[in-house]
């Protein structure tokens, strides 16, 4: 089992390789890697996209596999965020009931932003809404599960929030990382 900090550094290094177009030597040993995986899984991180609704899966990975890093990963241009903003701006009777399950999860993160000056700048609003949703989702994991809370306190589980830029490929780990880790990430 590797520590949360080592797992985070592995993800950062992989993102640096990805952004620069360098492939890992591990990619050259696909057959060997498949045999290793068939023999037993040891995930070093759990990555959740946009809004985590799979708390049980995270609990399982932390308990069963000893996974010590959970990344809640949002991304630029998120369609779920855009749909939520658009629906919240419509009169209630015009809102889609089919989008409600998405909107209900994201609305608490976005609603406060719509009451600020950001409502005048769509791009800035959407950027901030993505990050607000990631923060809220990470906080939900940190404080919404006794199992995960105990693992954070006793076992070194780290839950961080990050944003993937579709334009550049860069992942910015911005929530739940130490100041030193944040500065190193910003310098990349």
The residues facing 71 across adjacent strands are: 47, 160
Any idea where the domains of the chain sit in the sequence?
4-77+121-187
SS3 for 98-159 is HHHHHHHHHHHHHHHHHCCHHHHCHHHHHHHHHHHHHHHHHHHHHHCCHHHHHHHHHHCCEE
Which CA distances in Å does 31 have to 34, 38, 52? 5, 11, 32
SS3 of the chain: helix, strand, coil, percent, to 5: 65, 10, 25
Whole-number pLDDT of residue 22: 83
Return the DSSP state at 32: H
* Cα-based distances in Å from 94 to 22, 43, 77, 87, 109: 48, 44, 24, 8, 21
pLDDT of residue 138: 93
The contacts found for 56-65 with CB under 8 angstroms, 24 or more apart, are 58/141, 58/145, 58/148, 59/145, 59/147, 59/148, 62/147, 62/148, 62/151, 62/155, 62/157, 63/147, 63/151, 65/41
Instruction: Tell which CATH architecture fits domain 4-77+121-187.
Output: 3-Layer(aba) Sandwich (3.40)
Q: Which pLDDT tens digits describe the chain residue by residue (188 residues)?
A: 889 999 999 999 999 999 998 876 655 566 776 677 677 778 889 888 765 667 888 999 999 999 999 999 999 999 889 989 988 887 777 777 777 888 888 999 899 999 999 999 999 999 999 999 999 999 999 999 999 999 999 999 999 999 999 899 999 999 998 754 554 554 45
What tokens does 135 get? 């923060």
pLDDT at 27: 55
The pLDDT value given to residue 141: 93
Q: What is the pLDDT of residue 41?
A: 72
Q: What is the per-residue pLDDT for 174?
A: 96
């Amino acid at each position: 089992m590797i520590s949360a900090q080592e797992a985070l550094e592995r993800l950062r290094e992989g993102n640096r390789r990805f952004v620069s177009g360098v492939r890992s030597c591990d990619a050259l040993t696909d057959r060997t890697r498949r045999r290793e995986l068939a023999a037993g899984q040891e995930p070093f991180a759990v990555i959740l996209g946009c809004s985590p609704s799979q708390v049980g899966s995270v609990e399982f990975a932390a308990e069963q596999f000893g996974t010590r890093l959970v990344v809640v990963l949002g991304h630029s241009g998120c369609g779920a965020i855009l749909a939520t903003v658009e629906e919240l701006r419509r009169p209630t009777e015009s809102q889609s009931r089919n989008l409600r399950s998405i909107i209900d999860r994201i609305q608490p993160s976005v609603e406060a932003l719509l009451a600020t000056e950001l409502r005048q700048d769509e791009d800035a609003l959407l950027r901030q809404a993505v990050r607000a949703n990631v923060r809220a989702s990470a906080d939900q994991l940190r404080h919404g599960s006794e199992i995960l809370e105990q693992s954070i306190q006793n076992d070194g589980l780290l839950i961080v929030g990050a944003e993937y830029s579709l334009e550049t490929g860069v992942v910015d780990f911005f929530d739940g990382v130490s100041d030193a880790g944040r500065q190193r990430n910003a310098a990349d």
